[in-house]
C-alpha cells in the first residue's frame, strides 16, 4: 500500500455483528468467519531482522502467526510451536516462512509440560542454528461467568500455559541468548482492566506484564531486552474456542472507539519493532494496541 494513501482505521476491517460460531479448543483460524488477517498478503518486509533466529509459541494463528510471517519477511528464520490439533494452521505458516527463503521449523507440543518446553528450545536452536528472539505468545483463555465455575483443572491449565510455560522456556533459552537478543511476552489489556468472566486468564496477563518488567531489569546488564505487547480485542481462534460467550462474540470489539476488533496483522509491526536492533533502548516496555480502549 503506497505511503500516501490514508486508510481509515474504523473501516479497514470487519465490524460486529459477527456470526455466532464455536470450535473445540484451541480452534483453527482457517475455520473462522470472517477469516482473520495475519498479514499473509499485506505485510512487506525490509530486512530489519536479517539473519535473526526466532522462536514463537502459538505461532500457528493470532498474533503469533502475524509475528512469524512478518519476521520471515524481515529476514529471520522462525520456529513456531503450537498444539498438535492446530497442524493445518501451522503448515500454512511454515509454507509462508519458507516462501521467503527462510528456515521454518514446526514444533508441535503441549506447553503445560516442562519437559516439552525444554525440548522445544533445544529443537528450535538445532533446527535454526541458534536463537536470539524468544516470543512467548501462546495462551489459554476460557470464559467462565463465576469463579465457582472455574475448576482446579481449568485454573491449572491456564496457569501452566500462560505462566509456567514462559518461565520454563525462558530458563531453557537464556544460556543460549547473547547480548542483543530479546524476549517478548504477549500480555493483554486484561492485565490493566480485567473482565469479570476472565478471572484466571486476566491474572496471568497481569503476571506477564510483571515478569516483562522484572526480567528487563534483571537481564538489561547482560544486553538482553525484554518487552511486552498488550492487545485489546483481537479476532483470533481464542475467541471462538471458549474464550468468549456467543453474546460477546457477536458484538466483539464493538465497544472500542474504533468500533471493531483488531486483526493480528495490525500488531505484526509491533513485534518486529521490539525485536529490531534499532529499538535498542526499549526494554521493560509494554506496547498497547487496543483500538483506543486499553491501557497502557
**Catalytic (active-site) positions:** 201
Give dist(CA 195, CA 207) in Å, integer. 15
C-alpha cell at 187: 500480555
Torsion angle, CA of 58/61/67/69, rounded to 10 degrees? 120
User: Looking at beta carbons, which pairs linking 217-222 to residues 24 or more positions away fall under 8 Å?
Assistant: 217/284, 219/174, 219/183, 220/283, 220/284, 222/179
Amino acid at each position: 500500500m503506497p505511503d500516501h494513501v490514508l486508510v481509515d482505521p474504523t473501516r479497514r476491517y470487519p465490524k460486529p455483528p459477527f456470526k455466532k460460531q464455536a470450535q473445540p479448543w484451541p480452534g483453527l483460524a482457517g475455520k473462522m468467519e470472517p477469516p482473520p488477517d495475519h498479514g499473509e498478503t499485506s505485510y512487506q518486509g525490509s530486512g530489519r531482522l536479517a539473519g535473526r533466529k526466532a522462536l514463537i509459541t502459538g505461532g500457528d494463528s493470532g498474533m503469533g502467526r502475524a509475528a512469524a510471517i512478518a519476521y520471515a519477511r524481515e529476514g529471520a528464520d522462525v520456529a513456531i510451536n503450537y498444539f498438535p490439533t492446530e497442524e493445518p494452521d501451522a503448515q500454512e505458516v511454515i509454507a509462508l516462512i519458507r516462501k521467503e527463503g527462510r528456515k521454518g521449523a514446526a514444533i508441535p507440543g503441549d506447553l503445560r509440560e516442562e519437559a516439552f518446553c525444554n525440548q522445544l528450545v533445544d529443537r528450535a536452536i538445532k533446527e535454526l542454528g541458534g536463537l536470539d528472539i524468544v516470543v512467548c505468545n501462546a495462551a489459554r483463555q476460557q470464559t467462565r461467568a463465576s469463579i465457582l465455575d472455574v475448576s482446579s483443572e481449568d485454573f491449572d491449565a491456564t496457569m501452566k500455559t500462560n505462566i509456567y510455560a514462559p518461565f520454563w522456556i525462558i530458563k531453557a533459552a537464556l544460556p543460549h541468548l547473547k547480548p542483543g537478543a530479546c524476549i517478548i511476552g504477549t500480555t493483554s489489556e486484561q492485565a490493566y482492566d480485567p473482565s469479570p468472566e476472565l478471572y484466571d486468564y486476566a491474572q496471568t496477563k497481569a503476571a506477564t506484564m510483571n515478569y516483562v518488567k522484572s526480567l528487563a531489569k534483571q537481564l538489561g546488564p547482560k544486553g538482553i531486552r525484554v518487552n511486552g505487547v498488550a492487545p485489546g480485542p483481537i479476532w483470533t481462534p481464542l475467541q471462538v474456542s471458549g474464550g468468549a460467550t456467543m453474546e460477546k462474540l457477536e458484538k466483539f470489539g464493538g465497544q472500542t472507539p474504533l468500533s471493531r476488533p483488531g486483526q493480528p496483522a495490525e500488531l505484526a509491526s509491533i513485534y518486529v519493532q521490539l525485536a529490531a536492533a534499532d529499538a535498542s533502548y526499549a526494554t521493560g516496555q509494554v506496547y498497547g494496541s487496543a483500538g483506543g480502549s486499553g491501557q497502557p
